[in-house]
């Protein structure tokens, strides 16, 4: 199979042996694979894959067709359209996925949208509802809201009856972001004055985190799930103490199978139906063929996108 590989911090399209599904696993022919910030970090050598995932093939989410099933894998049949979060290896023509991590692709979604759905909507749903326990009518600030996870989080929070403030640096994207359900769209330096917020979903990292801590409501919850703009920040601990806020961090990649399976079942139960009736959508900014992965990564790193950048394979 052809795969995107990382060799000495550079992307190389290379041949790799076709993987074989083991017990409980499914071999998927990948039709689309979304790019994520974690892929950029892995390319720089800052985010190695978890044990059991390919060491040199990036890709945390995919959508495609079932090719074959290993022993005991009975939920899906050959030819079924499926999608999943994986520990790595998604940016290839073939990928092995445990059947418990797989989800069916909603009928209305094309391959690029399906390939950009699993990581973004699972991350957003887990952060908002499992980590932050978002409630009806609460005020949410989503920092860095024009990207994949941000656009998913806006839709999920708005559908749950929250008042959503979306922080987006690129003013040209404000109208599109508002159309997803954000009540207020602002630039990052305006978000502090628009509080207080019950939930802060931090997708950017260090630059605005300290200022936003001064805009937290009593017993606010802060979930950090993105650090592309910086790993380190100084926090106003008096503001944290005064608001009695809670801060947590979250990733999906390194979680054990049981926890990944639980997030997949939660998405199937609470979210996937919303793609069937048009409540939710996956904004896809650009698509690139698999063999143009380097150009896709460059476009991702340049910023300014609305939604997802997705690698597609029509072979």
Could you report the per-residue pLDDT of 31-40, keeping only the tens digit for each? 999 999 889 9
Q: Which CATH number fits domain 2-117+253-312: 3.40.710.10, 3.40.190.10, 3.90.180.10, 2.40.37.10?
A: 3.90.180.10
Q: What is the pLDDT of residue 206?
A: 59
What superfamily in CATH does domain 121-249 come from?
A: NAD(P)-binding Rossmann-like Domain (3.40.50.720)
Please report, rounded to a whole number, the percentage of residues in the chain having pLDDT higher than 70: 97
3-state secondary structure the chain: CEEEEEECCEEEEEECCCCCCCCCEEEEEEEEEECCHHHHHHHCCCCCCCCCCCCCCCCCEEEEEEEEECCCCCCCCCCCEEEEECCCCCCECEEEEEHHHEEECCCCCCHHHHHCCHHHHHHHHHHHHHHCCCCCCCEEEEECCCEHHHHHHHHHHHHCCCEEEEECCCHHHHHHHHCCCCCEEECHHHCHHHCCEEEEEECCCCCCHHHHHCCEEEEEEEEECCCCCCCCCCCCHHHHHHHCCEEEECCCCCCCHHHHHHHHHHHHHHCCHHHHCCCCCCCEEEEEEHHHHHHHHHHHHHCCCCEEEEEECCC
pLDDT tens, position by position, 215-260? 899 999 999 887 665 667 677 777 778 788 888 887 888 888 899 9
pLDDT of residue 25 exceeding 70, the answer is yes
Please state the pTM of the whole predicted model.
Answer: 0.93
pLDDT of residue 189 exceeding 80, the answer is yes
Answer for the pair 240, 219: CB distance below 8 angstroms, yes or no.
Answer: no
Q: What is the pLDDT of residue 98?
A: 97
Higher model confidence: residue 245 or residue 14? 14
| Pairwise CA distance, residues 75 & 274, whole Å | 22
pLDDT tens, position by position, 106-127? 999 999 999 999 999 999 999 9
Q: What is the pLDDT of residue 227?
A: 66
Average pLDDT over residues 260-273: 95
Where are the CATH 3.90.180.10 domain residues in the chain?
2-117+253-312
pLDDT of residue 310 exceeding 60, the answer is yes
Where are the CATH 3.40.50.720 domain residues in the chain?
121-249
Burial 125-159 (b: 16+ CB within 10 A, else e): bbbbbebbebeeebbbbbbbbbbbbbbbbbbbbbe
Q: What is the pLDDT of residue 99?
A: 97
Q: What is the pLDDT of residue 315?
A: 63
| Confidence band for 209, pLDDT divided at 50, 70 and 90 | confident
pLDDT tens, position by position, 71-100? 999 999 999 999 999 999 999 999 999 999
Q: What is the pLDDT of residue 211?
A: 76
Q: What is the pLDDT of residue 48?
A: 87
Q: What is the pLDDT of residue 155?
A: 98
Residue 268 phi/psi, 5° resolution?
-60, -40
């Amino acid at each position: 199979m052809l795969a995107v590989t990382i060799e000495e911090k550079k992307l190389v399209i290379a041949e790799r042996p076709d993987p074989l599904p083991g017990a409980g696993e499914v071999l998927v022919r990948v039709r689309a694979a979304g790019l994520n910030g974690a892929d950029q970090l892995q390319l720089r050598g800052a985010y190695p894959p978890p044990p059991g995932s390919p060491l040199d093939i990036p890709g945390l989410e995919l959508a495609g067709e079932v090719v074959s099933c290993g022993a005991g894998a009975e939920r899906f049949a050959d030819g079924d359209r499926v999608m999943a979060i994986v520990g790595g290896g998604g940016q290839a023509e073939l990928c092995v996925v445990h059947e418990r991590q797989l989800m069916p692709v909603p009928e209305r979604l094309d391959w690029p949208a399906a390939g950009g759905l699993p990581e973004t909507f699972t991350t957003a749903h887990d952060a908002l509802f499992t980590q932050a326990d978002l409630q009806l009518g609460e005020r949410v600030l989503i920092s860095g809201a024009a990207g994949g996870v941000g656009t998913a989080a806006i839709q999920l929070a708005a559908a749950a009856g929250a008042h959503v403030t979306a922080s987006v640096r690129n003013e040209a994207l404000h109208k599109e972001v508002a159309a997803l359900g954000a009540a207020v769209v602002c630039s990052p330096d305006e978000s502090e004055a628009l509080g207080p917020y019950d939930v802060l979903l931090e997708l950017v990292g260090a630059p605005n985190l300290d200022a936003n801590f001064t805009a937290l409501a009593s017993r606010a919850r802060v979930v950090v799930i993105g650090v592309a703009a910086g790993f380190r920040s100084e926090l106003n601990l008096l503001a944290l103490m005064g608001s009695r806020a809670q801060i947590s961090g979250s990733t999906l990649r390194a979680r054990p199978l049981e926890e990944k399976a639980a997030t997949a079942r939660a998405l199937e139960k609470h979210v996937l139906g919303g793609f069937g009736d048009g409540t939710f959508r996956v904004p896809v900014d650009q698509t690139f063929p698999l063999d143009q992965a380097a150009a896709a990564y460059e476009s991702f790193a340049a910023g300014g996108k609305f939604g997802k950048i997705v690698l597609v394979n029509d072979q």
